[in-house]
Structure 1
Amino acid sequence: MNATPDTTFRLRYLPPPTIARFMASRALYRGLMGPVGSGKSSACCVELMAKALAQTPDKNGLRRTRFAVVRNTYRELKDTTLKTWLDWFPEERCGPFAHTDMAHRLSLELSDGSTLEAEVLFRALDKPQDLKKLLSLELTGAWVNEARELPLTLIEALGDRVERFPSSREGGCSWAGVIMDTNPPDTDHWWHRLAEEARPEGWDFFSQPGGLMEQDGRFLPNPQAENLENLPRNFYKRRMAGKSPRHVRIYYCGRYGFAQDGLPVYPEFDEARHLSTAPLEPVDGLPLYVGLDFGLTPAAALAQRLPDGRWLFLDELVSQNMGMLRFAALLNDLLHSRYANLTPVIWGDPAGMARAQTDERTPYDILRASGLPARPTHTNDPVLRRETTAAALSRTVDGAPGLLLSPSCRTLARGMAGAWRYRRLLVSGEDRYTDEPEKNRFSHVCEAAQYLLVGAGEDRMLLAPEGKGKIRQARALNGRGKE
């Protein structure tokens, strides 16, 4: 497109309160989180232009800047990010977009006689090895669109490339930084860690109000929602129909949560119901049940069963590429430091009875030698283990959930929320999934919780006769009739 830029281009933008605070921040890294439709992407487009206009002119009257606009894939970059940018700064007004190198070079005459010359480079950076794409860039600033999809290493690398154009001999940058926007990630994400826990100097995070708010299990319009004047009437309420509560909480309420892909092993799990907002304290006088999963990534889940039958999962111990001897030492330390006054009852995977080829000791031999009297459960049936856990999740005792996780069980909670899943198969037609759950860093502690419940006898409740002498039937695991 060979359009001649219009000599007059007026832009009016009135930021909502949260976005106004975001724009006023002087932090090197700034993050904006909110629900869909809250105006995050538009705000970042306007913010880049505002910083380009605020650049001090050089001796030739040129306000020169260079920005990188980053998304995780080129398809999403073209379909969403670039489209939003060109909606705000169309080619017929601001100059042609170069599709060959994915760059928009703007040259606008300003009312004060100076000239804005801004170069906006659109790039996909979805893998750590893509860092090499940044090595030669000299930038004024950068915008990371949907930052939850990118690793922190890339965000930090972008921060190392800004404040380099214009160079100091050309007058330097009037502003430099990395701005980010995103829908809410999960609580195990680097965004949550930096925004809610570490809060490092030089980083500023802003959270917009949700379009909906949850009250007593109902989702209602939020009177504090932003950007409603630019959305269709009842935008959020009309779109929540048929959506899972998890989807509504993340994308419409603007709350942290795990956006699952694939079929969760535990569709019965509901963060609002099964995840405590406050740490759970152990109850004196009750045994402490410990469930173990072995292999090269051993894991442990710790829980107590209350007299009314409810389960409180108090803690977890997860590992990566760790031998059983070292893991046993860590488990011993955990039990003695936090639960010294409780009697542990330890159950584990029956497969742990197999002897290692190196020293012919089983994981149970190593545990007993470490002072941990662990025993194998009577079964390793995956259907029975899943159904036993699902039954506890589905149970209600005097209005309280039959299974409750402490916030310290972060990996277990995320696994139950859908990170432990049946992987979606890449086939045409209706959705199909693998027959067995995916092995990942969440599966081990989830299986440890299963061994805990089976070892404690919860499976006997599942198989107990119901009604007129009938045996409870296990449900299909993955929607394909397989058990």
Structure 2
Amino acid sequence: MTNNEHPIQRITYAAPPTLTRFHASDAFYRGVMGPVGSGKSTAMCMELMRRAQAQQPGPDGMRRSRFAIVRNTYRELADTTLKTWLDWFPEDLFGQYNQTGMTHTVRFGDVHAEFMFRSLDRPGDVKKLLSLELTGAWFNECREMPKAIVDAMGDRVERFPPRRMGGCSWAGVIMDTNPPDTDHWWYRLAEEDRPRGWAFFRQPGGLLEKGEENGRPRFAPNPNAENLTNLPEQYYLRRMAGKPADHIRVYYCAKYGSVQDGKPVFPEFHATVHVASTPLRARPESPLFVGLDFGLTPAAVFGQREINGRWLWLGELVAEDMGMTRFARELRRTLNERWPGMEVVLYGDPAGTQRSQVDERTPFDILRAGGIDARPAPSNDPLLRREAVALPLTRMVDGGPGLLTSPECRTLIKGMCGAYRYRRVEISGEERYKDEPDKNRYSHVCDAAQYLMIGAGEGRAVLGRDAGPRPARAENHYNPFRRSV
């Protein structure tokens, strides 16, 4: 390749096996997931440049194309994505990068391509991003991107060059990422839905988890890891030292998961101990307890206490941006469909007794209007609520855990595993955390579980008034429905 002014040296790029398959695909949406250091970003850079070279020439003989390169924040865009791009395609050989317009205009031979770098952390960025006319787009570290933005970007590509200038020879959206959590849209599309027009490629991890040693997870190098020839020796082993297991699993083993910054509210909860291998089923002869949290992100947790004292968390109902009237209908429908005819006892956030400024009705009033009778939990004391859950987590019942969760409670499990946490206080020196858990998408369902437990009697056990397990029928039960269902 030659520039109009300077000769350009040949770039040698050898794609690892997974990335070779990525380059060979013509799917409109393509994504690569892998560990750090696996060559994902380099592959994305090479993919865009090769598509620019393969563009059909226009009437003037020039191969014109335009691409958006997107990162979630400007700082990460400038510090990582842009630096990787300019390392491969330096300005002195491929053309100057315009800092004001955040665009790298590349000209060599008959290629004229624009690469527009955009972030999503400034007011108006999303609007500007979605007004572009593009050939293709690259989302770097896509787990930080809302699905709506990715969808909308698909509507902006295949618009340049227009037909009068030759039209698009190729168009699409490419994405790379470290592994997201299992409730992320990437996981749903890649592992469950597998929609047409989407192709996902998963690189092997740099490390493999090999059981435990001295009570701690043990990790070993993966002989099938990719891009090792371009990494320093023992790249992953040296970086894992001192890091928590969830960090190693996500960033080095390339497993789906989350890395939490903060202190878990329930360090007593261990998924390998407290999550059942198969969905749990209710016993129709025992009452069903329900814990409720209110607000615009209402949640419910459904549970039972076995005769031997073991607690079972059977299901969850988690909503977003839903008012109490709709939530009451969903709660009623869930109870009718999953546990018809069962005796049900419901406990809600005591703050739900406060009246709305709009119509002076409380959440409990709205529930009753929907045919569901619920009562406030006995206490809203954060320490008492936490201990009402922590106590059965540390209890052994007939050789098993004192609390077992159905794998169907996906949001609740994520919260209990650490997403429900105390936020770190930003001070120098020792680590300190806030006294109350951080409010996020996991806190509401975890709060609902606490109202369930404290309402059903675990609060009395914490205070020493009821130290032993009791038969479930000892509760003062009633039918929560005021009319037939």
1:210 to 205, 208, 215: 205
What is the alpha-carbon distance in structure 1 between the residues aligned to residue 366 and residue 151 of structure 2? 43
Matches within 5 A, 1:192-271: 192-217=187-212, 218=217, 219-271=219-271
- Structure 1 unmatched ranges of 5 or more: 110-114, 466-483
Identity of aligned residues (%): 62
Matches within 5 A, 1:13-162: 13-109=13-109, 115-126=110-121, 129-162=124-157
1:186 to 181, 188, 195: 181
Q: Size of the alignment, in residue pairs?
A: 458
Q: CA deviation at 1:39?
A: 1.3
The question of whether the paired residues in 2 share the 8 Å contact of 1:71 and 1:126 is answered with no
What is the alpha-carbon distance in structure 2 between the residues aligned to residue 65 and residue 369 of structure 1? 60
- 1:474 is aligned to none
Per-residue Cα deviation, 1:271-308 (whole angstroms, up to 9, x for no partner): 45544564333345443221122445442101233455
Using a 3 Å threshold, how does the CA distance of structure 1 residues 365 and 172 change in structure 2: closer, same or farther?
closer
What is the alpha-carbon distance in structure 2 between the residues aligned to residue 456 and residue 423 of structure 1? 29
Q: CA deviation at 1:264?
A: 3.2
What is the alpha-carbon distance in structure 2 between the residues aligned to residue 65 and residue 351 of structure 1? 57
- 1:433 is aligned to 433
Work out whether 1:387 is the aligned partner of 2:387. yes
The question of whether the paired residues in 2 share the 8 Å contact of 1:5 and 1:95 is answered with no
Name the aligned partner's letter for residue 235 of structure 2: F
Matches within 5 A, 1:341-420: 342-353=342-353, 367=367, 372=372, 374-395=374-395, 400-420=400-420
TM-score normalised by length of structure 1: 0.84
What is the alpha-carbon distance in structure 2 between the residues aligned to residue 410 and residue 192 of structure 1? 13
What is the alpha-carbon distance in structure 2 between the residues aligned to residue 272 and residue 39 of structure 1? 33
What is the alpha-carbon distance in structure 1 between the residues aligned to residue 148 and residue 57 of structure 2? 33
**More displaced, 330-339 or 438-447?**
438-447
Q: CA deviation at 1:314?
A: 1.7
Matches within 5 A, 1:165-176: 165-176=160-171
Over aligned residues, Cα RMSD in angstroms? 3.1
SS at match of 1:304: strand
- 2:480 is aligned to none
Name the aligned partner's letter for residue 337 of structure 2: S
Per-residue Cα deviation, 1:395-428 (whole angstroms, up to 9, x for no partner): 5557754434334323323332444333344555
Per-residue Cα deviation, 1:208-264 (whole angstroms, up to 9, x for no partner): 222223343533333332222222222223222322222222212222223324433
- Structure 2 unmatched ranges of 5 or more: 466-485
- 2:450 is aligned to 450
What is the alpha-carbon distance in structure 1 between the residues aligned to residue 317 and residue 102 of structure 2? 46
What is the alpha-carbon distance in structure 2 between the residues aligned to residue 285 and residue 221 of structure 1? 52
- 2:481 is aligned to none
- 1:334 is aligned to 334
Q: CA deviation at 1:373?
A: 5.2
- 1:300 is aligned to 300
Q: CA deviation at 1:73?
A: 1.3
Name the aligned partner's letter for residue 156 of structure 1: D
Using a 3 Å threshold, how does the CA distance of structure 1 residues 252 and 460 change in structure 2: closer, same or farther?
farther
Using a 3 Å threshold, how does the CA distance of structure 1 residues 152 and 371 change in structure 2: closer, same or farther?
closer
Using a 3 Å threshold, how does the CA distance of structure 1 residues 206 and 328 change in structure 2: closer, same or farther?
same
Q: CA deviation at 1:364?
A: 5.0
- 2:482 is aligned to none
Per-residue Cα deviation, 1:189-218 (whole angstroms, up to 9, x for no partner): 222232233333222222222222334353
Using a 3 Å threshold, how does the CA distance of structure 1 residues 161 and 425 change in structure 2: closer, same or farther?
same
